[in-house]
Amino acid sequence: MMLRVGYPKGLAPDLLGLFPAGVELVEVPSKPESPIAVDLWIPAPAPVLGQRTWPWMRGVKTVVTLMAGTEWLMPLVGPEVTVCNAAGAHNISTAEWTVTAVLGVLKYLPLYRDLQVAGNWKGRSEASRQYAAIHRDERLQFPPVLQEELHGKRVLLVGHGEIGKTIEGLLTAFGVELTRVARTARTEPVVVHAVSELDALLPEAEIVILILPHTPESDKLIGAKQLGLMRQGALLVNAARGAIVDTDALVEALNAGRIRAAVDVTDPEPLPEGHPLWKCPNLLLTPHVAGSTPEFSPRSVKIAAEQVGRLLRGEKLVNVVKAGV
């Protein structure tokens, strides 16, 4: 019997050619109107669409996502279904967003963009005022401070999976002092501190980058206590999941002028109109776009197609997050 593979409607037709022969490809609409029977399901790369589609799916034994995160999927499909993620699909795009966000804040690009829109550079001295305020540094600066340097900054990288390692590779060129944190400590091939040491490491960091999975253990890992431990003017970068940071505590810290932040993810998400985070100072905010590049779909679909090939050949799947029982 031919393996039936359900794929999300909207996938570019040329990408379907990546799948091996010997499968029946079944297009799954975003709003199904009748049950759809498949053996392997590839959900749309948006949790809300997957959650809407799942009640119509029948016979699914394996789910292969197009994303690295699967926390939304695990409780949805239950224990019987094997779940595989698309580890590697987001490495480059997310790492590039992270470094770009860091540089954007340090180079005061939001301010200069505002001045460009206004059509007047007279307000550029605001950069010096922002620098003095966030760092509590009232010393005379001549010439005025118009940007900051990344070189030599002490960076705390919280999460050292594949994306974290890619971020580290990009940051190396900037001559930063990097400290790594992961769930468990290790010394090979590089020194990585355990997350239990996080509170002790935060006060020394000038930049804190979050790129770890959202789990019960990491939920609100960065709360009021941790934000309070960060040094004055430190930059918090969240390229992971919004719920890893306590949003109320972040709003308070930003409004108090204690820290800066650049976040691609929020809790709640999408961020509702009128939410106080929108108007916080010292914040660079993007709408969960770090993984969204033209290269994402070909890369992630190729990973899914390779998984289908393994099933056809009777080989073990890779990137298994949860094996079905």
Active site positions, annotated: 241, 269, 288
Burial level of 174, CB count in 10 A (0-12/13-18/19+)?
middle
Query: What are the structure tokens assigned to 133, written together?
Result: 């305020």
Q: What is the DSSP string of 230-296?
A: SPTT-EEEE-S-GGGB-HHHHHHHHHTTS-EEEES--SSSSPPTT-GGGG-TTEEE--S-TT-STTH
Distance CA 277, CA 271 (A): 8
DSSP letter for 222, please: B
Q: Is the dihedral of CA 256, 159, 90, 317 positive or negative?
A: negative
CA distances from 127 to 7, 105, 144, 284 (A): 49, 11, 8, 15
Structure tokens given for 222: 């960065």
**Would you call the peptide bond into 143 cis, given omega within 30 degrees of 0 as the criterion?**
yes
CA distances from 221 to 12, 179, 201, 212 (A): 38, 17, 14, 10
**What gap in Å lies between CA 111 and CA 113, rounded to an integer?**
5
Buried b (16+ CB within 10 A) or exposed e, 234-268: bbbbbbbbbbbbbbebbbbbbeeebbbbbbbbbbe
